[in-house]
Amino acid sequence: MSHHTGDTLTDRASTTKVAIYGPGAMGLHITRLLAARGVRIVAAITRPGSAKLGEDLGVLAGVAPLGVCVRSDAEEALEETEPDIVVVAVDTYLDEAMFDIYATIVRANANVITLAEEMLYPFPTAGPRAKELDELAKQHGVTVTGTGHQDAYWVNLVSVLVGTAQTLRTVEGELAWNVDDFGPALAAQQQVGRTVEEFTEWLSSTERKPTFGRTSLYALAAAIGLTPAQATTRTTPVVATAETHCKALEKDIAAGKVLGYTDTDTLQTEEGIDLVISSTGKVYSPGESDFNEWRTTGEPPLHLRNERVVTADTTCTTLINRIPHVLGAEPGIVTIDRLPQLRFQPAADLLIGGLGGRMVDSAAGSA
Amino acid sequence: MSHHTGDTLTDRASTTKVAIYGPGAMGLHITRLLAARGVRIVAAITRPGSAKLGEDLGVLAGVAPLGVCVRSDAEEALEETEPDIVVVAVDTYLDEAMFDIYATIVRANANVITLAEEMLYPFPTAGPRAKELDELAKQHGVTVTGTGHQDAYWVNLVSVLVGTAQTLRTVEGELAWNVDDFGPALAAQQQVGRTVEEFTEWLSSTERKPTFGRTSLYALAAAIGLTPAQATTRTTPVVATAETHCKALEKDIAAGKVLGYTDTDTLQTEEGIDLVISSTGKVYSPGESDFNEWRTTGEPPLHLRNERVVTADTTCTTLINRIPHVLGAEPGIVTIDRLPQLRFQPAADLLIGGLGGRMVDSAAGSA
């Protein structure tokens, strides 16, 4: 009954070669998970000047040495090691610097899978660069896909859920994530420790980039088959009611100070169905944990809740389970609504690179 | 961005022709939902001797007359009306009588979509008949698929959820459904109103047929990519702690009497991952409502809960949203693990019959 019958793991192990671009908290967690699954990691790349240069990726990740030293000469590293796919965990937006990273990988004929939030659905908010990258990937016969926690919990679980609806009026999600899971850069970005006045000033003076929620709603609309019309974002601070310790910043946040904020994004669609996501990123108090909760109005009303989700873990595990789909996808930027249904990938599927022949062709092409 | 752009509803409306086989509670609810979406219903079929013979299907369903009278001459009805797909809501198991119904439809070159629980994944428990029906469907170039509430809530939401796992040890579901939602036949089948002694005697003397849970676990294993090894079922009665009214039987159930029972099914797999589903079908007390809750052990542990699900509704809506997938599927018995990701089907997709050209070929073949 299984489509694995007849293959043995050893026959085909080590066929898929993976590189890690960005050995930060997420990149190293992905390294640990890939190593535990027996996937072959062939290269690790970081920015010039990083303190991690020359270190063994396995040692940095807290597992056995992998014989893979972190380097910053991306082009040479990719040319020498010929990865089938490069995991990119560097930055959120498709800005010029990130475009250059993706383009370097694509020009080395390797596929890209990334946690970068804007890459989940980059066309509405980063159109020109996304189009250029899409064309470059098509020229080189490789795929570029953004995935992560949102893929499962903010898009595809919701899309399957609404597959049980007769009619939809609104699809509303509420979720929270802990700033302390993601390090000091994100804590600063979430305005942790500021006064409400400082927060308000920041909010009014800042050209906010597109929220994670907005990008997810575009992906959700595509997955459901809806046509985006108008997107709006409303942002409100979460204020500490008692002194709260922030692990990421290694300090206590006094009562009355900002612990983070809530973005409420709404995407109206031409079909008249409103998609809403209310996302709170803050320093958690003891006892709080990540959750996702979705409700629809329409006939019948629908509900879904995930409790005690460890977002930092599921971001990495989702990326790993998507590797075979990206290896098997058509060339270009392929957003998650165009991939097969997300599923658990037993080790064999992960090692042999998934669903079809393209990965083999791609590997041959880059050899 | 939408793949609907360029099509107007009126261009292609009425392309898909649907017939209803079994105008009972579920068949009539599906009729109401299809009529509300503007889908063309061309025939209604029931057993000889039914009190519904000659009645208008729309009137029976409580909507406007559809000009479709219920008849029992299935072959002639199908030949005259040439439905693309027949919704079958008659009985659970692939016994001889149900085989004959499916075979009659398939011989009329129409696709079959059914709520019959065993048809969700019939090969392990009804192998010979399933194989014969599969071959017959292939000969006639049509698809036979079982779907319903389980498709979304017991299989595909769970499969997407475990797509965020690094490792799995157990996948355990707990759920409840209300006997009163499904009429007196099912209430009798759930032993409602019996004494515990009668229940125990029934359980020990009865050759139980495969449970709904077991069939769902086989479908879940296929969706996750696991190989079934050993299946077991444990059954325990749910006893009333206070007098409880049973709407389906139109009587009160005294304290100490049976309100229904819980089947706990376990499917061990060759991969060492245990799938478990604990399904309670009983008369609800005030305040109780349907839910599904899933938990996995492994890294990381995962969780999903649906509250206040109206199982009787989502059974019908899921079937309707699956129609385009069945029309677009390859011939034979195609189980839900082999269909595209379940999704909301805007009216246009439903009316034009979905995903590709096969439906058009099939319609042409039966013309």
pLDDT, tens only, B319-364: 999 999 999 999 999 999 999 999 998 776 676 544 333 333 333 3
Give the whole-angstrom CA distance, residue B186 versus residue B321.
25
Q: What is the pTM of this model?
A: 0.90
Say if residues A199 and A237 touch (Cβ distance below 8 Å).
yes
A300 has a chain B CB within 8 A of its CB: yes
Q: Where are the alpha helices (DSSP H) in A17-154?
A: 25-36, 57-61, 74-81, 96-107, 127-140, 149-150
Q: Which structure tokens are listed for B293? A: 């809750």
Interface A–B counts its CB contacts (< 8 A) at 176
pLDDT at residue B2 tops 90: no
- Residue B129 to chain A, least CA–CA distance (Å): 17
Q: Return left, alpha or beta for B272; rule: phi > 0 is left, psi -120 to 50 is alpha, else beta.
A: left
Confidence of residue B154 (pLDDT cuts 50, 70, 90): very high
- Sign for the CA dihedral angle at B266, B294, A336, A160 comes to positive
- Give B 91-150 residues with CB within 8 A of chain A: 123, 149
CATH code for the domain defined by A9-148+313-366: 3.40.50.720
Say if residues B187 and B248 touch (Cβ distance below 8 Å).
yes
Give the whole-angstrom CA distance, residue B237 versus residue B190.
9
Q: What percent of chain A has pLDDT over 70?
A: 91
A80-106: pLDDT as tens digits? 999 999 999 999 999 999 999 999 999
Q: What percent of chain A has pLDDT over 90?
A: 83
β-bridge partners, A87: A20, A113
Q: Which helix H or strand E contains A299, and what residues bound it?
A: strand A291-299
Query: How much is the pLDDT for B183?
Result: 82
Q: Which of B164, B294, B305, B350 to mutate to test the interface with A (most CBs of A within 10 A)?
A: B164
Query: How much is the pLDDT for A310?
Result: 85
Strands B167-178 and B291-299: antiparallel
- Residue A158 to chain B, least CA–CA distance (Å): 9
Q: Which residue has the tokens 């990119």?
A: A88
Instruction: Collapse the DSSP code of B203 into the 3-class scheme (helix H, G, I; strand E, B; otherwise coil) and give the result.
Output: helix
pLDDT at residue B304 tops 90: yes
Spell out where A97-189 has E strands. 111-114, 143-146, 167-178
DSSP string, A326-340: HHHSPSEE--GGGSP
| CA angle (A56, A58, A60) in 5-degree steps | 70
Say if residues A30 and A89 touch (Cβ distance below 8 Å).
yes
Confidence of residue A207 (pLDDT cuts 50, 70, 90): confident
Give the whole-angstrom CA distance, residue A329 versus residue A335.
10
Q: Which of A273, A344, A349, A350 to mutate to test the interface with B (most CBs of B within 10 A)?
A: A344
CB spacing of A320 vs B5 below 8 angstroms: no
Does ipTM come in above 0.85? yes
CB spacing of B152 vs A159 below 8 angstroms: no
Nearest to A178 by CA among A251, A119, A259: A259
Residue A318: list chain B partners with CB under 8 A. 163-164
pLDDT at residue A197 tops 80: yes
A227 has a chain B CB within 8 A of its CB: yes
Instruction: Collapse the DSSP code of B352 into the 3-class scheme (helix H, G, I; strand E, B; otherwise coil) and give the result.
Output: helix
Instruction: Collapse the DSSP code of B237 into the 3-class scheme (helix H, G, I; strand E, B; otherwise coil) and give the result.
Output: strand
Sequence ranges of chain B with CATH classification 3.40.50.720: 9-148+313-366
Say if residues A230 and A165 touch (Cβ distance below 8 Å).
no
The neighbour count for residue A293, using CB atoms within 10 Å, is 17
Q: Which structure tokens are listed for B273? A: 């991952």
Q: What percent of chain B has pLDDT over 90?
A: 84
Instruction: Name the burial class of residue B19, with classes exposed (0-12), middle (13-18) and buried (19+) by CB atoms within 10 angstroms of its CB.
Output: buried
Which one has a higher pLDDT value, B192 or A361?
B192
pLDDT at residue A288 tops 50: yes
The neighbour count for residue A308, using CB atoms within 10 Å, is 12
> B300-336 burial by CB neighbour count: b if 16+ within 10 A, else e?
bebbbbbeebbbbbbbbbbbbbbbbbbbbbebbbbbb
